[in-house]
Chains A and B, each alone.
Chain A
Amino acid sequence: MTENDLRRLLFCDFSDPKNDDHFYKEITDVDGFRKVAEGLLAKYNSVSRKPMDLVLFDFALEHLCRVSRVLKQPGTKVQEHCHDWGHILFGLKNLISESHALLVGVGGSGRQSLSRLAAHIAGHDFHEVEHLITESLHKFYRTASALG
């Protein structure tokens, strides 16, 4: 039982596409789960302006589950009260919520693609933060208040 073997211990709440239960369950069949993830990717590609050509090898599935797990974490009270604005305030949630993730990897390793896919699965919008973070924040607050 090595460290590598333990990487195959995965949990997620979207492993069963037919059963819409969203229970957090162990993934026992990795190859089957890969098909499910590929289906979700195909769904994303069909509605997105930037379709992604991704190979979902084992490592990618691991990270997909990790990011999805972080997205499930509860935020602060502000986020909870704004349930209907859930997807618009997603960025805000990550600024003030209890949870965040920092993905470190070489260019082209699929960090952004996997995050986009995880956000899509969770039903969130995805916004890129440009280098000038203050401008992105201004734009963000304006969007959020416009909907308020």
Chain B
Amino acid sequence: MTDLNAMKRLWVHEIMRVYYDRLVYPNDRQNLLGSIREICDRQLRIQFDELCSHLVDEGRYELDDFPFSRLASVTLEFTGATEKNPTKALSSRR
């Protein structure tokens, strides 16, 4: 452990693994991040953005793959298409 801020980052990381990873809805995740931010400012006496500033990379463009996988499953459900019958439309509700 090199310094106190490293310990604080470890705290944030463990919360992410124990709580954040188990959450499904974006709302819940946002709420959790809000709580982390608030507690970090109040109890750990450091601005959250400052603590994790080295993680921010302005020039990097990332494709988040969560939307893509959800998009694929929603499309299939909507049209009723399967591998064997890719053009079949959903005639009745499952």
Q: Chain A residues in contact with chain B, CB under 8 A?
A: 1, 3-6, 8-11, 24, 26, 28, 58-59, 66, 69, 105-106, 109
CB-defined A-B contacts under 8 Å, sample of 13: A1-B56, A3-B30, A5-B55, A6-B33, A8-B55, A9-B9, A9-B55, A10-B13, A24-B10, A26-B6, A26-B9, A58-B62, A69-B17
Tell me which residues across on chain B come within 8 A of A24, comparing CB atoms: 10
A106 touches B16 (CB 8 A): no
**What sequence of 0s and 1s flags, for each residue 31-67 of chain B, a beta carbon within 8 Å of any chain A beta carbon?**
0010000000000000011001111110000101100
A-B contact count (CB 8 A): 47
- Given that A9-B55, A28-B54, A105-B69 are known contacts, is A3 also in contact with B33, CB under 8 Å in the complex? yes
- Given that A1-B49, A3-B33, A4-B64 are known contacts, is A66 also in contact with B9, CB under 8 Å in the complex? no
**What sequence of 0s and 1s flags, for each residue 3-19 of chain B, a beta carbon within 8 Å of any chain A beta carbon?**
00010011011001100
Cα of A8 to Cα of B10 in the assembled complex, Å: 13
Q: Which residue of B lies closest to A59 (CB)?
A: B65
Tell me which residues across on chain A come within 8 A of B56, comparing CB atoms: 1, 5
Q: In the complex, which range does the number of interface residues on chain B fall in?
A: 20 to 34
Cα of A105 to Cα of B55 in the assembled complex, Å: 26
- Given that A105-B69, A106-B69, A106-B72 are known contacts, is A9 also in contact with B52, CB under 8 Å in the complex? yes
Tell me which residues across on chain B come within 8 A of A59, comparing CB atoms: 65
CB distance from B46 to the nearest CB of A (A): 13
Q: Which residue of A lies closest to B51 (CB)?
A: A1
- Given that A105-B69, A106-B69, A106-B72 are known contacts, is A5 also in contact with B52, CB under 8 Å in the complex? yes
Q: Which residue of A lies closest to B56 (CB)?
A: A5
CB distance from A8 to the nearest CB of B (A): 5
CB distance from B66 to the nearest CB of A (A): 10
Tell me which residues across on chain B come within 8 A of A3, comparing CB atoms: 29-30, 33
CB distance from A58 to the nearest CB of B (A): 8
B69 touches A9 (CB 8 A): no
Tell me which residues across on chain B come within 8 A of A66, comparing CB atoms: 17, 21
A9 touches B21 (CB 8 A): no
Cα of A4 to Cα of B62 in the assembled complex, Å: 8
Q: Which residue of B lies closest to A1 (CB)?
A: B49
Tell me which residues across on chain B come within 8 A of A26, comparing CB atoms: 6, 9-10, 13
